[in-house]
Amino acid sequence: MNKRTVFAVMMVAATAASVFAYGGGGFFQGNLVPYEELTSHGVVAETRGGFGYGVNRCGVRHGGFGIVIRNSADNELIGAFGGIISGRQVRVRPMTLSANLWTGIGFVGTPVAGRHSGFGYFAEATGEAGVALLPWMQVALYGGMQAMGRLDPVSIVESTMYSPVAGMRFVFGRF
């Protein structure tokens, strides 16, 4: 073997040895919980969507999501958003604990925006506890606060709707 071949094999081996990837993707369902002291409205709503994320060696999460929020009483669309996931996690097999921030933009319906639906923002800060049922499947419970509103400089504060949220995520990946 010549020196170039040995060098190439060493570089490929070093790159492969340094790969460290955890993370997953899946779907979720949650509910806005209308506690009087913590909510800006009396709407009971359901959230559904999908997500995916990767985790580095330090436990930092980065990913993306899509979410639809509907009024539970009349099935009216409250909002639909897409965005990014940022967070930190701690793994103690088979459990995973994490703190996440989901931020995005999209469509906000009339229950939030008032007379006219329009372009809106979404933010959700949650804590999550997951248990790996299989090496490639995890069930996680989450809870936190969710806010959304219209992206209008004049009415951004008045149009903000916030509420506690709780739900379950089914995650498929590597844990």
CA 122 to each of CA 5, 90, 156, 165: distance values in angstroms, whole numbers, following the listed order: 52, 25, 12, 13
Does residue 6 sit within a domain? no
Of the pLDDT bands very low, low, confident and very high (cuts 50, 70, 90), residue 17 is very low
Q: State both tokens at 24.
A: 């997953």
| Residue found by looking up tokens 């089914």 in the block | 170
- Evaluate whether residue 45 is within a structural domain: yes
Query: What does residue 7 show for φ and ψ, rounded to 5 degrees?
Result: -60, -45
What is the number of domains present in the chain?
A: 1
Chain segment 86-118, per-residue pLDDT in tens: 999 998 889 999 999 999 999 988 766 566 678
How far, in Å, CA of 123 to CA of 19, rounded?
A: 31
H or E stretch including 9? helix 3-18
161: CATH: 2.40.160
**Would you say residue 2 lies in a domain?**
no
Per the structure, the complete domain to which residue 146 belongs is given by 21-174
The model's pTM: 0.82
| pLDDT tens-place string over residues 24-49 | 999 999 998 877 777 777 778 899 99
Q: Is residue 9 part of a domain?
A: no
Please give the DSSP secondary-structure letter assigned to residue 140. Answer: E
Structural domain contains residue 58: yes
